[in-house]
Amino acid sequence: MKKILIGNWKLNCSLEKIKWVSGFRREDFKKIECCVAVPYTHITTAKTDFPSFIKVCAQDCSKYEEGAYTGEVSAKMLKEIGVEYVIIGHSERRRYFDEDNSAIGEKVKRCLLSDIKVVLCVGESEEERNKQLVLNVIEEQIKSVAEKLSDMAIIRMDVAYEPVWAIGTGKIPTLHQIEYAVKHLKTFMNANRIVGRILYGGSVSLRNFKLISEIAYVDGLLVGNASLEEDFIEMAREIK
């Protein structure tokens, strides 16, 4: 399976950015699978304008299947407009929208039942790291999702390790710390019937992406700010 590179545009998008991606060259992305997570409002335009080798990803979805939930967008709706991947449980959703492990598990379930591929985000806060709770936090986040999917013999989804304290801060764990976390994350995935790739996310840049992508068990990168710049294309070309 190819490594995966996901650009998360968050609340940053314009038609000009969509046009920029439409000009991407296949030869720059031939070594990897690539997705770009755009806001809901730009999904249909991205599906029309993105080249076929760039997959459209949503940044979230509702935990509800349907009903009187104003402002929500369901996994079924995303599937109908051609979304192939959804990011679930990003630290910013957990932090700013009070999403807990139970809600995140429901969202994962909705996506998988709608035949949408999931990228589940897990990771510890700075306080949790200082208390040496990194593995406890990751294991609980993985376990709580698996419990929502108890009727599935195998859970197929990718998982992104993103230390909360590294998101958008420029701070990053050491290579040893990343390797330690993802090694145990792989163990937790295996123990909970989860089959998929492991990504790293958190202040990924041109300065560090090569070294991170060479770490054992790291099968891809979840990129924030750098995915809005030409740096993203260079990452696609040079990722190990």
CA 202, CA 100: separation in Å to the nearest integer? 20
Choice among 33, 92, 124, 162 that is catalytic: 162
Phi/psi of residue 237, each to 5°?
-70, -40
Question: Is residue 42 among the annotated active site residues?
Answer: no
Residue % of the chain over a pLDDT of 90: 95
Q: 5: closest CA among 237, 238, 222, 224?
A: 222
Model confidence pLDDT, tens digit, residues 44-99: 999 999 999 999 999 999 999 999 999 999 999 999 999 999 999 999 999 999 99
Q: What is the pLDDT of residue 32?
A: 97
Two structure tokens written together for 92: 């910013």
> How many whole angstroms separate alpha carbon 128 and alpha carbon 126?
5
- Name the average pLDDT for the chain: 96
Domain topology for 3-238 = TIM Barrel (3.20.20)
- pLDDT at residue 168 in the model: 80
Among the listed residues 33, 42, 90, 99, the single catalytic one is 90
Task: Write the DSSP symbol of residue 63.
Answer: S
| Largest pairwise CA distance in the chain | 47
185-228 pLDDT, tens digit per residue, is 999 999 999 999 999 999 999 999 999 999 999 999 999 999 99
Say whether pLDDT at 13 is over 80. Answer: yes
For residue 95, the model assigns a pLDDT of: 93
Instruction: Give the pLDDT mean for 132-137.
Output: 97
Would the pLDDT of 18 be above 80?
A: yes
Q: Is 176 a catalytic residue?
A: no
Q: Partners of 155 in the beta sheet?
A: 194
pLDDT at 223: 98
Share of the chain above pLDDT 70, in %: 100
Cα angle for residues 50, 12, 83 (degrees, 5° grid): 40
63-76 pLDDT tens trace: 999 999 999 999 99
pLDDT of residue 169: 81
